[in-house]
Structure 1
Amino acid sequence: MSTTEPLYSRTDAALGTFAIRPLDPFSDAELLHGWVTHPKAAFWMMQDASLPDVEREYMKIAAAEHHDAYIGLHEGRPAFLMERYDPSELELVGLYDALPGDVGMHFLVAPSDTPLHGFTRAVITTVMAALFADPRTRRVVVEPDVNNTAVHALNAAVGFVPEGPVQKPEKEALLSFCTREQFETATGLTGATV
């Protein structure tokens, strides 16, 4: 499949078209390097990564059985990073009781000199709708840093309910869950929205 072919897209009434395409660890590495090392991406924990470090990390994800990475587009231009993973195999193994249909998620919005009001919320809404577009996804699981209050508010806006803190090797995380029904109630959208 071409890396330019969107796997999912939706139109936001205020901000236009959002889409998600597969990430290419080679052609996207320079773009990603600028995003993950930006001061606003401190919670991504790659501030000191070199370009080869970023390339290696996303090559590892591309080769992984239980982890996928995608580039999010806004009006056809790269604007965010999305990762999907199996929390029973990665990130949260042994930290909670995984259920069938659980999907882990990370997202990162690209830094911008001209921020758009509501943009990050439109991004997380797109990410969640894309995850729920897969009928096998029953619940999305996230584990942001407990100090990342901005993302906690965004998570709540799309239906996440905090379970409580869990200690990961790299951080204390706020384990939170969002079922398909909670997402639909919070946003009025279904995963099938295109």
Structure 2
Amino acid sequence: MTPDFDFRTVDPLKDAELLHPWVTHPKAAFWMMQDATLVDVERAYMEIAADEHHHALLGLRDGEPAFLMEYYDPARRELVGLYEPLPGDVGMHFLTPATDTPVHGFTRAVITAVMARLFEDPAVARVVVEPDVANTAVHALNEAVGFVPERTIRKPEKVALLSFCTRERFLAATTATEVAA
């Protein structure tokens, strides 16, 4: 059974202490905030909160913070000049915090919930991701929810695998998974 999640906007001042160990943990190396101080995390999320084209949400399970998601307009942030955006494109990142008691299937449930949340907006036609080419674990998760890699791109901070998932591919991938479960 897939867990139910709720979402709320990140409050940079209140949530920085929660997020700091999440984003600086070695498991979060691809988040690229390993050396961030608490103040750095606060500032980073204050910048996102002030940006009309970039948003950060906490995913809640039973009312408790369980993961972080960000979404952005790739025509204005992150991917400007690196691909030709289409109307309805939205960029996405997600992070599940490190834990000593991992739950089998949790991260897949998270990415499924994140994608469902994005596709709740009828204006969203396609989700765009650009994970590090070395992040093979997230490539597998992306594929499981319908992403199709297009090509590698060079960003200032990494070489990334540009991938896309349409609403139709997401529904096909997740419906097939639910039927098989």
Q: TM-score, normalised by structure 2?
A: 0.95
1:35 has 2:25 as partner: no
Over residues 153-175 of structure 1, what are the superposed CA-to-partner deviations in whole Å (9 max), with x where a residue is unaligned? 00000000000100000000000
Q: After the TM superposition, which residues 43-192 of structure 1 pair with which residues of structure 2 at under 5 Å, given as runs?
A: 43-188=30-175
Q: In the alignment, which residue of structure 1 is the partner of 2:179?
A: none
Amino acid at match of 2:168: E
Q: In the alignment, which residue of structure 2 is the partner of 1:5?
A: none
How far did residue 19 of structure 1 move? 1.4
Over residues 99-118 of structure 1, what are the superposed CA-to-partner deviations in whole Å (9 max), with x where a residue is unaligned? 00000000000111110000
Amino acid at match of 1:72: G
Amino acid at match of 1:132: F
Q: In the alignment, which residue of structure 2 is the partner of 1:25?
A: 12
Amino acid at match of 1:145: D
Between the aligned partners of 2:84 and 2:43, the Cα distance in structure 1 is: 31
Amino acid at match of 1:177: F
Q: Which has the higher helix share?
A: 2
Over residues 72-96 of structure 1, what are the superposed CA-to-partner deviations in whole Å (9 max), with x where a residue is unaligned? 1122211100001000001101110
Amino acid at match of 1:99: L
Q: Secondary structure at the match of 1:26?
A: helix
Q: Secondary structure at the match of 2:4?
A: strand
How far did residue 59 of structure 1 move? 0.2
Over residues 31-66 of structure 1, what are the superposed CA-to-partner deviations in whole Å (9 max), with x where a residue is unaligned? 000100001000000000000000000000000010
Q: In the alignment, which residue of structure 2 is the partner of 1:6?
A: none
**Gap regions ≥5 residues in structure 2:** 177-181
Q: Secondary structure at the match of 2:82?
A: coil
Between the aligned partners of 2:4 and 2:142, the Cα distance in structure 1 is: 21
Between the aligned partners of 2:131 and 2:168, the Cα distance in structure 1 is: 22
Q: TM-score, normalised by structure 1?
A: 0.89
Alpha-carbon RMSD across the aligned residues, in angstroms, is: 0.9
Between the aligned partners of 2:37 and 2:51, the Cα distance in structure 1 is: 21
Q: How many residues align?
A: 176
Q: Secondary structure at the match of 2:13?
A: coil
